[in-house]
Amino acid sequence: MVRTPGAHLRPKADKAQYIMYAVYVLKSKSTGKRYIGQTANLAKRVCDHNNGMSKYTKNRGPWGLVYQERYGSRSEAMIREKFLKSGKGREMLDKINK
């Protein structure tokens, strides 16, 4: 067995601390509607939306990613998602995505 000096002093790595959460905004290329969500796997989630695996976005695609932000915790991402769905958040997105 190989021992690393001081290994007992280092905190154990928590896999959750390396996960980044994305808040994302999609825009339908067919209807112009916007969808706001959050996920730990953005590429997979966008594919899910485009493959009809989400109730709201099904039959409204194809969807394109128009905006994203990254956060270190899901709770931070959920707070930001809620803001972007509010009146002030929608105004901000309208200014960014003109």
Residue-level pLDDT at 18: 72
Q: Any idea where the domains of the chain sit in the sequence? A: 18-96
Give per-residue pLDDT as tens, 9-21: 445 555 555 789 9
Give per-residue pLDDT as tens, 44-60: 999 999 999 999 899 99
| CA distances (Å), origin 39, targets 64, 65, 98 | 16, 13, 25
What pTM was estimated for this model as a whole? 0.79
Residue 7 has pLDDT above 60, yes or no: no
CATH topology of domain 18-96: GIY-YIG endonuclease (3.40.1440)
